[in-house]
Amino acid sequence: MTSAFKLNPEQLKAVEHGEGPLLIIAGPGSGKTRVITQRIVHLLTGAGSAVEEPGLLPDFPTPAGRSEEYSGAGIQPENILALTFTEKAAREMQRRVREALPELEALPHISTFHAFCYEVLRKRHFERTLLDKVDVWIFLRQRMESLGLQFYQKLAEPGAFLHSLNDFFSRCQDELIEPADFERYAEAMDREFQELSPSLDAAERTLMQQDIQKKQELARVFRNSRKLIEEAGSSSLGSLIPETVRLFDREPEVLESYRQLFRYVLVDEFQDTNYAQVELLKRLVKPPLSITAVGDDDQAIYRFRGASHGAFKMFDEAFPGHETVFLDTNFRSTKRILRAAEVLIAKNDRYQAKPHLQTSREEGAPVYLLQSPDFLSEAAWMADEVARLIQHGTPPGDIAVLYRAHGYRDPLVEQFRRRKIPFAIRGLSILSTVILRDLVAYLNIIHSPHDTVSLTRVLLTPRWNFPEDLALEARKQASRDHCSLCDVLESWGRSGAANRLEGTGWPELRRLLGELHKYAEHASVTALLERLIGRLELSFLPQDHDGAYVEAFRKFLEKWEGKSESRELGSFWEYFQYFREAGGQIEAPEPENSARAVQMMSVHAAKGLEFPVVFILSVAPRRFPHSEQKAVIEFPEALRKGPPPPANIHEQEERRLLYVGLTRAEDRLYVSSVAKSGKKPSLFISDLASNPTVEARDLERIQVPEAPPETVEAPRMQPVPRERPSAPKPQGSLFGDATGASGIHPPLNEWASHTFVIKPEEKLQLSASAIETYDACPQKFMFSHYMKIPTGPQAALTFGNIMHQCARRYFELRRQGPVQFEQLQVHFEQIWKGAGFEDDYQEQAYKKAGLEQLRVFVSRHETVTMLPLAAEAHFSLDLGDVVLEGRIDQINPLPDHSVELVDYKTGRPPSQKDADKSLQLSVYALAARDQMHLNPTRLTFYSLTNNEAVRTVRTPKDLDLVVGEIHEVATQIRKQLFPPQPGFACKYCDYELICPAHEESL
């Protein structure tokens, strides 16, 4: 059987290995999956072990009492356990075994570690709902009050630490650390502190105490979250392996039945195992330890998912005396590609010396090392080269572009679009596709008609024929009246302004939303989606991407309905908000025509794949190797059970990742570096060029010229005159003859590039916060300042407003005499508003924190004798082409007749650097000096959070510079430059749903 697959001698040795432990170190492209499946086939069909009684084979081993039946009677499928890490890999292994042995009635047990453990536990009456990472986040977010959080919580974003906490607990579980173990660890730390305490100074004592309190909190939350999850009849994915290990330790007879049954255990991608998984294997495999581990330490790239860096060392210890087979024949790449890849990976520490990769392939083309001056030139050159290759006959699907992080592909995507090069992005979430953003906007306003951002998106659709100037007028009124866009349109409809809505689609849209809102009161959310699609008259052709995305969303809804009690829109909406906040993604199905398009994906996603042509994008400092992101909650080294990591573990893992990327290439490989002239390239570029022989023989450097501006300029940088949307076709059908989803897509790009009339003589009215918004993201500034799109209340703003009012009230009361905290408390309770809080937990947490902060505020100010000169002092400072507007929170007199300007802060206490750089304080100082004719010698951020003041000053020169910066911003605004600046802040931006930077129109 095995010879039919033309195995080479090393492969054959691995496949035909007898009993006892075997480690197969399989280089890239060396036929690892073939070997592991052929080994299974060989075990099943080897001498005297053909599948004889397939009828006896169960779906899954029934452990108790079966061992005798099978012992010594040849290898039956149920005697084989093959474990891997992903469902996809498990399915592929099953497929190959089935293909090799079509007559087999039942397959061996081939699954992921997690699925195997779940089955083992389920057979012990373990009926639990499994929670993945996002599920755990949502579960804990809904039970925040029961967790016992103190340090690890953020008022403005209650779920901010939940992923970090869950990652930490998973990390503990990977090391088989239980809540009780961690409690003991925290207690030991505390005992040590008590002993050391007398010898410590105050600062050291405080630091150590805080550290211990944090550890105690971790122990508490670990225990509480575990208890909550179990009481709800659930289990986190991360807990399955430790729970199975515990079961085996607690019930040796159960373990023994599995040990008897699984005479051969095979593990694929062994380099990705962690301590808990190795412990599980140690228990499962009985003498003569017939375990086969296949993997490659050079391709260990999943440390972030919990893989240990030292899996093979653990294998040595767990299964001593194992045989090692190296699969060092690469069937994939040319010699030059392999030599270049080996030069890179040789810079890493490796498990043990291994033979060089061999190949019978030709020398091949050189490895092209591109050097670009910037990312846009890189993208332009690369797109030209891809176009050239396609023109010369390379099918687009043979070309892959790999990148370290998804955000890096954007300039190249733009260049592909310009050249009409077909491309398909793997790992895309459907939630960023236009059709889903459209449907989500509709569902938003069905659920809450006052969601102005969603209604703005929907009204932009040409079908609703709602002119932008009318929409702008309505939004302006909504901003002025502090109400929603829907409120304004409703009020126009009721009043004499109704005629303004004539000819627009608003009456029809309003009827549709009303009908669907009513329907949603009793229908399931999937039924609602169906009806919405029906009412919008959307139909999708089989090859239409949008249809596949909608189908994936429908499945997501169905899955949620399976877990939900109510299945209605209201509960779905709460879940969906959390799902988004937790970073949940719904992966897009692979497009039908992806084989005819250039493949774009992260290097991680490319593992296991191969392409004739590979481009590695942006091997640049801080991009590749990627900057290290340390875990927010570090796992204590003292608790580590596996081998200690090397000091430069991050750099080594990044190098392995690039090695994985390089070795995906069969024939042509381009490695693209970006560095300005005179600047150092990425460390990995130096690594690749570190062997003079290989550099001279195998690498070819290409200097990419700087692309001309017209090639690279992002179209959104320039204002584009807005085209008025065309009117709908006046058929009986609501949407005329529209098919597909194009009829509901808003022209976001054109709309967001809207130009405004700003007369040269008109003074721009700006505030410090408006300028800061422009600096952070001009597009956001435009949405709020010119588009006048009101957003809903936000908890942090509501709270900040209340606390400002309380501080002001305090000084009003002080003018009448001493102030008690209780007086301020009464005021606080009176002005409290529930607007914008995510839920009761957040509101109560804010309330509690606010009262505590005010209590300290009162006590800190008891001895203050100088009362403020003014509070909330309004200014309107004319700077020529700009008028600066604002209010100074408080002006205090100083003994030398100068003044202190105070800005109260809630939220994260500002640092000294924040104060020194603050535009707001600079603007205060300018207004106080130039309009109020005061002498501001002290500028203060007063944090109500910790009741600490941070002080700074501004010199006249500083203020001149600030005026210059303000004029610079004004010039940009007059030029109407409002490019989006996508980045981390987008997560908190209310305009994300209407922001063109987030629209993946593929």
Q: Which is nearer to ligand SF4, 44 or 789 (CB)?
A: 789
Q: CA-CA distances (angstroms) from residue 112 to 70, 81, 116?
A: 24, 10, 6
The nearest distance, CB 849 to ligand SF4, in angstroms, is: 27
Q: Which is nearer to ligand SF4, 869 or 977 (CB)?
A: 977
The nearest distance, CB 972 to ligand SF4, in angstroms, is: 15
3-class SS string, 263-310 = CEEEECCHHHCCHHHHHHHHHHCCCCCCEEEEECHHHCCCHHHCCCCC
Q: Which is nearer to ligand SF4, 159 or 778 (CB)?
A: 778
Q: Which is nearer to ligand SF4, 831 or 985 (CB)?
A: 985
Q: Which is nearer to ligand SF4, 51 or 986 (CB)?
A: 986
DSSP one-letter code for 728: P
Residues 6+ apart with CB under 8 A from 61: 78, 109, 258, 261, 262
Q: Which is nearer to ligand SF4, 14 or 777 (CB)?
A: 777
The nearest distance, CB 443 to ligand SF4, in angstroms, is: 20
Q: From the CB of residue 439, how many other CB atoms can be counted at a distance below 10 Å?
A: 22
Q: Which is nearer to ligand SF4, 328 or 992 (CB)?
A: 992
Q: Decide if 689 contacts 634 (C-beta within 8 A).
A: no
Question: What gap in Å lies between CA 536 and CA 539, rounded to an integer?
Answer: 9
DSSP E strands: which ranges in 345-465?
Answer: 367-372, 399-403, 423-425
Question: What gap in Å lies between CA 654 and CA 684, rounded to an integer?
Answer: 9
Question: What gap in Å lies between CA 23 and CA 10, rounded to an integer?
Answer: 12
The nearest distance, CB 931 to ligand SF4, in angstroms, is: 32
Q: Which is nearer to ligand SF4, 373 or 982 (CB)?
A: 982
Q: Which is nearer to ligand SF4, 525 or 748 (CB)?
A: 748
Looking up tokens 């392996």 gives 241
The nearest distance, CB 982 to ligand SF4, in angstroms, is: 4
The nearest distance, CB 386 to ligand SF4, in angstroms, is: 27
Tokens of 665: 């290439």
Q: Which is nearer to ligand SF4, 135 or 990 (CB)?
A: 990
The nearest distance, CB 847 to ligand SF4, in angstroms, is: 30
Question: What gap in Å lies between CA 102 and CA 51, rounded to an integer?
Answer: 11
The nearest distance, CB 430 to ligand SF4, in angstroms, is: 18
Q: Give the torsion sign (CA, 934, 940, 945, 947).
A: negative
Burial of 650 (0-12, 13-18, 19+ CB in 10 A): middle
Secondary structure (3-state) at 485? helix
The nearest distance, CB 390 to ligand SF4, in angstroms, is: 32
Angle at 971 between CA 969 and CA 976, to 5 degrees: 95
The nearest distance, CB 975 to ligand SF4, in angstroms, is: 18
Q: Which is nearer to ligand SF4, 543 or 718 (CB)?
A: 718
Q: Decide if 685 contacts 382 (C-beta within 8 A).
A: no
The nearest distance, CB 981 to ligand SF4, in angstroms, is: 5
Looking up tokens 């988004």 gives 580
Q: Give the torsion sign (CA, 474, 475, 476, 477).
A: positive
Q: Give the torsion sign (CA, 830, 836, 839, 843).
A: negative
CA 536 remoteness from chain centre: 32
Q: CA-CA distances (angstroms) from residue 595 to 282, 397, 423?
A: 43, 5, 9
The nearest distance, CB 987 to ligand SF4, in angstroms, is: 9
Task: Return the closest-CA partner of residue 8 out of 323, 296, 327.
Answer: 327
Question: What gap in Å lies between CA 348 and CA 354, rounded to an integer?
Answer: 13
Q: Which is nearer to ligand SF4, 254 or 986 (CB)?
A: 986
- Binding residues (CB under 6 A) for ligand SF4: these are 777, 779-780, 980-982, 985-986, 989, 991-992, 995, 997-998
Q: Which is nearer to ligand SF4, 188 or 985 (CB)?
A: 985
The nearest distance, CB 755 to ligand SF4, in angstroms, is: 17
The nearest distance, CB 777 to ligand SF4, in angstroms, is: 3
Tokens of 743: 């009829």
Question: What gap in Å lies between CA 205 and CA 719, rounded to an integer?
Answer: 58
Q: CA-CA distances (angstroms) from residue 239 to 66, 175, 235, 634?
A: 28, 11, 7, 19
Q: Which is nearer to ligand SF4, 323 or 410 (CB)?
A: 410
Q: Which is nearer to ligand SF4, 261 or 989 (CB)?
A: 989
The nearest distance, CB 407 to ligand SF4, in angstroms, is: 12
The nearest distance, CB 998 to ligand SF4, in angstroms, is: 6
The nearest distance, CB 985 to ligand SF4, in angstroms, is: 5
Looking up tokens 């302004």 gives 497
Q: From the CB of residue 985, how many other CB atoms can be counted at a distance below 10 Å?
A: 11
Q: Decide if 236 contacts 114 (C-beta within 8 A).
A: no
Q: Which is nearer to ligand SF4, 218 or 413 (CB)?
A: 413
Question: What gap in Å lies between CA 313 and CA 20, rounded to an integer?
Answer: 17
Determine phi and psi for 758, rounding to 5 degrees: -120, 105
Q: Which is nearer to ligand SF4, 260 or 773 (CB)?
A: 773
